Amino acid sequence: MNIHEIILKLDNLSIGYAHIPIQEDLHLEVGVGQYIAITGRNGLGKTTLLNTIAGLTPKLKGNMFFETSDINQLSTYALAGKGMRYLPDNKGLFKNISVEQNLTIAKKEGHFHLEMVLDLFPRLRSRLSNLSGTLSGGEQQMLAISQMLLANPKLGLIDELSEGLQPDAIQSLLDFLEANRQASGMSLLFVEQRINVVKALSDGAIVFRANKAPEYIGRNLWVSDEALLENLIFN
How confident is the model over 23-78, as pLDDT tens digits?
999 999 999 999 999 999 888 999 999 999 999 999 999 999 999 899 999 999 99
3-state secondary structure (DSSP) of residue 193 = coil
Domains of the chain and any CATH numbers: 6-234 (3.40.50.300)
Return the higher-pLDDT residue of 80 and 4: 80
In this prediction the pTM is: 0.93
Cα 176-7-143 angle, rounded to 5 deg:
35
Residue 91 confidence (pLDDT): 78
Q: In what order do the strands lie in the sheet with 61-66?
A: 20-31, 6-17, 61-66, 69-70
pLDDT higher than threshold 60 for residue 177: yes
pLDDT score of 4 more than 70: no
Question: Which residues pair with residue 26 across a beta bridge?
Answer: 13
Residue 90 predicted with pLDDT over 70: yes
